[in-house]
Amino acid sequence: MDTYRWSHLGHDVHTIHQQPEKDCSDRPALLLVHGFGASTDHWRHNIPVLARTHAVHAVDLLGFGRSAKPAELPYGGPLWRDQLVAYVRERIGRPTVIAGNSLGGFAALAAGAALQQDCAGVVLLNAAGPFSDEQQPPKGWGAIARQSIGSALLKSPVLQRLLFENLRRPATIRRTLNQVYVDKTNVDDWLVESIRRPSLDPGAFGVFRTVFDIPRGQPLDELFAELTAPLLLLWGIRDPWINAPGRRATFQRHAPAATTEVVLDAGHCPHDEVPEQVNAFLLDWLAALT
């Protein structure tokens, strides 16, 4: 497995690349995209297996992992979409399947829609992101007041700093992971440290503060309408963060007709919790594409 630096908008991006021993030029490349607060490390159980048959790439989104965390960047969906599009065109140079978890799923879908024929497929693992009908303003004075007060509190620099310091404590990281992994076997010291370490970077708090101002981005239903590549939905159906059964039903209403779905008994990060199952289903789907 090779690690190297790539530059996007003049900022360092940490990337990983692993090739099979045999020629794989007849198969699409794979690009793996982590979720919020994670990094390329979160694909530890997937890259070695997937790279037996496909050229596998993984990147740390700007603001996360070992990539740069400059204060002046407009963090959000458009930045990460453009980062992935540029990586596919500049570093991979051929049709690519983009797979993303959580926030990375939203970025993967946006990049796949933008790449058009350069995207060979999109894989969403408990993807984040809003639908059009979820972007409506709150109704009623009570709901408006609660949202306004909550937003004001979360924009307090003091409260943001306190929240950040608590969230990056190893005990808090472990407790959070235990909440979203059904099988906690892989919630180990290595995973906790892989999430804690980037939070110690000088720019990490500045990136964290932007979370409260990140625009929601283009609705998922609009991105589905623009996507021309095959789509695979891999659900950790016991995800407590996103109400996975309800969200799955919403995806079914909007996703393209030929979408493939796989439901797993797992939480928010199925690729790391049940990697053997995710790898097997993903490789079967990729073989069908080829």
Q: Is a pLDDT exceeding 90 seen at residue 139?
A: no
pLDDT at 158: 84
Q: What are phi and psi of 25, to 5 degrees?
A: -65, -15
What are 97-124's pLDDT values in tens digits? 999 999 999 999 999 999 999 999 999 9
Give the C-alpha separation, 278 to 47, whole Å: 12
Percent of residues, the chain, with pLDDT higher than 70: 91
Report which of 215, 198, 162 is spatially closest to residue 38, judged by C-alpha positions: 198
DSSP, res 152: H
What tens digit of pLDDT does each residue of 203-242 get?
A: 999 888 877 665 567 899 999 999 999 999 999 999 998 8
Average pLDDT, the chain: 91
CA separation, residue 148 to residues 145, 260, 268, 269 (Å): 5, 39, 29, 31
Query: Is the pLDDT assigned to residue 36 strictly greater than 70?
Result: yes
Burial class (CB in 10 A: 0-12, 13-18, 19+), 45: middle
| H/E segment holding residue 167 | helix 157-167
What SS3 state is found at 75?
A: coil
For residue 171 the two structure tokens come to: 């005990």
Distance CA 270, CA 272 (A): 5
Q: How many residues does the chain have?
A: 290
- Whole-prediction pTM value? 0.93
